[in-house]
Amino acid sequence: MTQERIPVAGPWVTELEAQYVADAARDDWYQRAGQSVGQFEGEFAAYLGMRHAAAVPHCTSALHLAMLALGIGPGDEVIVPEATWVASAAPIVYLDATPVFADIETDTWCLSAESLAARITPKTKAIVTVDLYGATPDMDAIVSIAEDAGIPILEDAAQAIGTKWRGQAAGTFGAVATFSFHGTKTMTTGEGGMLVTDDDDLFSRVSRLRDHGRKPTDFKFFVTDEIGYKYRMSSLQAAFGRAQLLRIDELLDKKRQIFQWYEDRLSGMPGIELNARRNNVDNTFWMVNIVVDSSYGLGTRDLMQRFDDELIDTRPFFPPLSALPALARFGDGAAALNPVAYDLASRSINLPSALILSENQVDRVCRTLVSILDHARAATV
């Protein structure tokens, strides 16, 4: 009997989402045009305990708007961790500013406070933190460094809805934060994102920039004061997001359950490391990641190929930003400065973490991993 392929990521969708989208498709027009967007923004802000939320087409646009509102431009430097998706850094380049790459912690895989402090210069205009795979960096240390230097924090919480640091929600640190609702994320709208902030002036600037540079007072008259962007979420996406937000505890519980299944099966296996559990972090484990000891002689691409041969999808640990051809011109000497990010990227993969995973599928992934490592160990003897 042919085995089905196990997906690496994906959503959990119910009839509730279908009903919310159907209602918006029928009702969000004319006098009620766009009502689901405003409702979603209000509900999401309330969930986090924030004053403002702006729903946008994707997290990249949220990051772009946040940097624009922070006044980042040519000649400025923005510090960003090496280990993250390119979208965390791309808007820096959009604005003709310079990304500066900092190393990550060995256990959380998030921005290292020590490396951050060493990268700050008089040109540093902002610090981007990334809550990688549902974890957080040491926010106490990072906030202290940022405040001492007078530099705003932009928290990229794309992967960390529901995560908490010392009881405080991810996305509520610093001047502004962003979330992703891509189809791979714990909470999705298919594609989409959200910007959140408590700063009234910053939110006012974001609101104008995401609507072609129009002031709210001139909305009906099509008066554009400056060239802005079309960064607005659709009603159908927002309606889907509202239903997902109603189910957020259920979605987070499933993510934690998936990680627990892996942890129960793999915690005693020599030579591998899973996502860290820290006493002060409520990790939501967006993706289950394993780091394989170098003694096995298996690189990231080797591991991915061997799982692929068994019809199991995986993802690589994010390659260092400074190693990407598109950003290499900003990364002179980064490999020596950021050894942790480079090392982990060479021998780590994300295991299947889709919300529809069953315990039997996790069993199969773990059996496959054991087999791969056993064969690798035998080959090195």
Question: Residue 124: which region, alpha, beta or left (left: phi > 0; alpha: psi -120 to 50)?
Answer: beta
Residue 172: pLDDT band with limits 50, 70, 90:
very high
Percent of the chain whose pLDDT exceeds 90: 94
In the beta sheet, which residues pair with residue 102? 81
Choose one of 213, 246, 279: the last residue of a domain. 246
Q: Which of 228, 246, 264 is the last residue of a domain?
A: 246
Say yes or no: 132 and 215 in one domain. Answer: yes
Does residue 1 sit within a domain? no
Domain co-membership, 242 together with 252: no
User: Do residues 108 and 128 both lie within one domain?
Assistant: yes
Whether 185 is catalytic is yes
CB atoms closer than 10 angstroms to residue 378: 8
Asked if residue 301 and residue 236 are part of one domain, the reply reads no
Same domain, 29 and 63: yes
Check whether 185 has a pLDDT greater than 90: yes
The domain that holds 127 is classified in CATH as 3.40.640.10
HSE-up of 109 (CA within 13 Å, CB side)?
31
Residue 151 lies in a domain: yes
The tens digit of pLDDT for each residue in 209-262 reads 999 999 877 778 889 999 999 999 999 999 999 999 999 999 999 999 999 999
Per-residue model confidence as pLDDT tens digits over 294-304: 999 999 999 99
Q: Supply the CATH number for residue 358's domain.
A: 3.90.1150.10
Say yes or no: 239 and 262 in one domain: no
Looking at residue 216, its pLDDT comes to 78
Q: Are residues 312 and 367 in the same domain?
A: yes
Answer whether residue 7 is part of any domain: no
Residues 6+ apart with CB under 8 A from 41: 53, 54, 55, 194, 238
Which of 190, 217, 246 delimits the end of a domain?
246
Q: What is the 3-state secondary structure (H, E, C) of the chain?
A: CCCCCECCCCCCCCHHHHHHHHHHHHHCCHHHCCHHHHHHHHHHHHHHCCCEEEEECCHHHHHHHHHHHCCCCCCCEEEEECCCCHHHCHHHHHCCCEEEEECECCCCCCECHHHHHHHCCCCEEEEEEECHHHCCCCHHHHHHHHHHHCCCEEEECCCCCCCEECCEECCCCCCEEEEECECCCCCCCECCEEEEECCHHHHHHHHHHCECCCCHHHHHHCCCCCCCCECCCCHHHHHHHHHHHHCHHHHHHHHHHHHHHHHHHHCCCCCEECCCCCCCEECCCCCEEEEECHHHCCCHHHHHHHHHHCCECCEECCCCHHHCCCCHHHCCCHHHHCHHHHHHHCCEEEECCCCCCCHHHHHHHHHHHHHHHHHHHHHHC
Confirm whether 9 is domain-assigned. no
β-strands 98-102, 77-81 pairing: parallel
Query: Which residue out of 164, 185, 230, 254 is catalytically annotated?
Result: 185
**206 confidence band (pLDDT: 50, 70, 90):** very high
Is the residue at 357 inside a domain? yes
- pLDDT (tens digit, 9 = 90+) per residue, 35-59? 999 999 999 999 999 999 999 999 9
Average pLDDT over residues 118-141: 98
> What's the whole-number mean pLDDT along residues 159-163?
98
**In terms of residue numbers, what domain contains 288?**
248-380
Instruction: Grade residue 88 by pLDDT with cuts at 50, 70 and 90.
Output: very high
- 185 and 101 in a single domain? The answer is yes
Task: For residue 2, tell me if it sits in a domain.
Answer: no
Any domain includes 115: yes
Same domain, 317 and 172: no
With beta carbons less than 8 A apart as the criterion, state whether 193 and 241 touch: no
pTM confidence score: 0.97
Give yes or no: residues 62 and 205 share one domain.
yes
Judge if 331 and 233 occupy the same domain: no
Q: Is residue 10 part of a domain?
A: no
Q: Report the pLDDT value the prediction gives residue 147, as an integer from 0 to 100.
A: 98
Query: Per-residue confidence at 366, pLDDT binned at 50, 70, 90?
Result: very high
Number of domains in the chain: 2
Residues in the chain: 381
Flag whether pLDDT at 2 surpasses 90.
no
Residues 293 and 176 in one domain: no
